[in-house]
Structure 1
Amino acid sequence: MLGIIPFGMVTGVAAVEVGIPAIHAIAMSVIIFAGASQLAATELIGRDAPIAVIVLTVLVVNLRMMMYSASIAPYFERESARWKAALAYPLTDQAYAVSLLKFRNDEHTSRRWYYLGVALSLWTVWQISTVAGILLGASIPEGWHLEFAVPLVFLAVLVPAVTDRPTLVAAIVGGIAAIAANGLPFDLGLVVGALVGIGAGLLTEEVA
C-alpha cells in the first residue's frame, strides 16, 4: 500500500499535466486499472501519438496479465464462469504476487475471498491515490520525487516472483531489451522489451 499511494498520485498528476480532463483521467483509472499502461498511455497522449499506437502499447504492456491469469487460474478452477470473470478485473501485479504466495503456502485459505481482500484493497487505495493526484496536480512539491516509487513497486513484486529459470530469463532479457530500445518513439521500447521478455521466457520454458 505504501508503494501504491505515491504511484497512484504520480499517475493522476501525469494525466493532469498532459491536459487530460479529470473525469477522463478517473475513468481511465477505473477502466484500465493498470498503473504502468496508464502512465504509458498518458505520455503518448501528451505527445499526440496515433490512437493505434496508444492502444497497442496498453495492450502489450498488459500482456503480462495473461501470464498471471494462466498461472493463478488452477486455484480458481472450481469457481463459476461468472466468478472467474469478476475475479479477472482486479488482477494486478501486486494482487497476483501476494495471493499466489499465500495459496502455495496455505491450502486452507479461502482463495476467492483472500484474493478479493487483497485485490479490492489495492483497487480502493489506487483510485483514492489517483484522484488525490488529479486534484493536487502541480501543487505537489517536486522535491517529494513521488515518481521514484514507481520502479520500487515493480521491483518489490518482481524479486519474489522470480522463482524459476524461465521467469529469471524473461526478467533479464526483457529488461535489457527495454533499455536497448529506449530511444524508440512513442515509448515503443517498452513494447519491445515486453514482447522480447515474454518470448524469451516461453522459449526457455519449452527448452527446459
Structure 2
Amino acid sequence: MTPAVPPTSRSSIHDFWAGLGAAAPVVPGAVAFGLVYGVLARQAGLSLWATTAMSVLVFAGAAQFTAVSMWGQASPGFLIVTTLMINLRHLLMGASVAPHLLGQPGAWKGLLAFGLTDESYALAISRYVRGEGSREFFLGANLGLYLGWILSSLAGGLLGGLVVDPSRWGIALVFPLTFLGLLVPLLGRGVTAVVAAASGIVAVITAVWLPGKGNLVVAILVGSAIGAVLETWWTPTA
C-alpha cells in the first residue's frame, strides 16, 4: 500500500478537528462506561488517584474492569496475563491499521497505538477504506475518547460509594453496542462478512467452555484460517 502524501498544515488541523467531531457521538458511551468503572474501582478499594491514574496510563475499559474485579484476589502476574488476553484484539486492529501508516514516524505510530480503541479504530479505518484517512483524524478520534474516558473515570471515582449497584443500569452494554453500530456498516458482503460472522459464532460457542477471554483467541485463529481459505479459493460473483 502506498503511503499517503503528507498533508499541509491547514489540512492537518482540519483532519484533527474532524476526528474529534467524528468521535463526539461515541464519547457519551465512553463517559457512561467510565463512570461505572470509577464507581467500581473505588468500591474495590482503589484510591481516587489510582482510579484515575489507571485510566490515564492503561486506557482500556475491559482490561480495567477486569483488573478492578480481581483486585486483591489474584496475584499481579495473573492479573497482567488476564488483561493481556482480554486485549489481544488490539493486535488485530493494529495489524489492520498498520498498512495505512507506512512511512509515518515511529513517534506517531506509538501515539496512535496507545490511543487505539474499538471505537476509534472503527472511525479511523472507515476513513482509510474510503481513501480519506489521515494520522491527524486518527489522533483526533483517539483524543476525544481518551479525554472522555479520563474525566468520566474521575467523576465516577468522586461519586464512589454513592452508587450501590451500577450494573443494574445496563451501562455495560453501551460500549459494545456502539462498537457494533460502527463496525457492521464496514463489513459489506463477501469474505469480510463471512469471516466476521464465523468468528462471532465461534466466540459465542467457545465462551461456554473456555475461561477468561480464551474464546477470543480461538475465534481469531478460526476467523484468520477461514479468511485465508476464502481469499485464495472464493471468487465472488457480481
Whether TM exceeds 0.5 here: the answer is yes
Q: Tell me the residue number matched to 1:28.
A: 54
Q: Tell me the residue number matched to 1:134.
A: 157
Gap change, CA 1:155 and 1:189, over 3 Å in 2: farther
- Which of the residues 125, 141, 150 maps onto 1:118? 141
Q: Which amino acid aligns with 1:26?
A: T
Structure 2: how far apart are the matches of 1:74 and 1:22? Answer: 39
Q: Which amino acid aligns with 2:145?
A: L
| Match runs of 1:111-190 below 5 Å | 111-140=134-163, 142=165, 145-146=168-169, 148-162=170-184, 163=187, 164=192, 165-178=194-207, 180-181=208-209, 189-190=211-212
CA contact (8 A) 1:3 1:150 kept: no
Following superposition, the deviation at residue 77 of structure 1 comes to 0.9
Structure 2: how far apart are the matches of 1:200 and 1:108? Answer: 31
Following superposition, the deviation at residue 149 of structure 1 comes to 2.4
Per-residue CA shift, 1:21-45, capped at 9, x if unaligned? 2222222111110001110111111
Instruction: Calculate percent identity across the aligned residue pairs.
Output: 31
Q: Which amino acid aligns with 2:204?
A: G
Gap change, CA 1:191 and 1:108, over 3 Å in 2: closer
Q: Tell me the residue number matched to 2:215.
A: 193
SS of residue paired to 1:28: helix
Gap change, CA 1:41 and 1:143, over 3 Å in 2: closer
Q: Tell me the residue number matched to 1:76.
A: 101
Following superposition, the deviation at residue 141 of structure 1 comes to 6.3
Q: Tell me the residue number matched to 2:71.
A: 45
Structure 2: how far apart are the matches of 1:41 and 1:167? Answer: 28
CA RMSD of aligned residues (A): 2.0
Unaligned runs of 5+ in 1: 182-187
Structure 1: how far apart are the matches of 2:36 and 2:109? Answer: 31
SS of residue paired to 1:89: helix
Per-residue CA shift, 1:56-112, capped at 9, x if unaligned? 11101111111000001111112112211121110000100111112212x245x11
Q: Tell me the residue number matched to 1:54.
A: 79
CA contact (8 A) 2:38 2:157 kept: yes
Q: Tell me the residue number matched to 1:101.
A: 126
Structure 1: how far apart are the matches of 2:84 and 2:166? Answer: 33
Unaligned runs of 5+ in 2: 1-26, 231-238
Q: Once superposed, which parts of structure 1, at least 4 consecutive aligned residues long, lie more than 4 Å away?
A: 141-144
SS of residue paired to 1:49: coil
Q: Which amino acid aligns with 1:92?
A: T
Q: Which amino acid aligns with 1:171?
A: G
- Tell me the matched-pair count: 197
Following superposition, the deviation at residue 205 of structure 1 comes to 1.8
TM-score by length of 2: 0.76
Per-residue CA shift, 1:168-190, capped at 9, x if unaligned? 22222112322x14xxxxxx733
Q: Tell me the residue number matched to 2:42.
A: 16
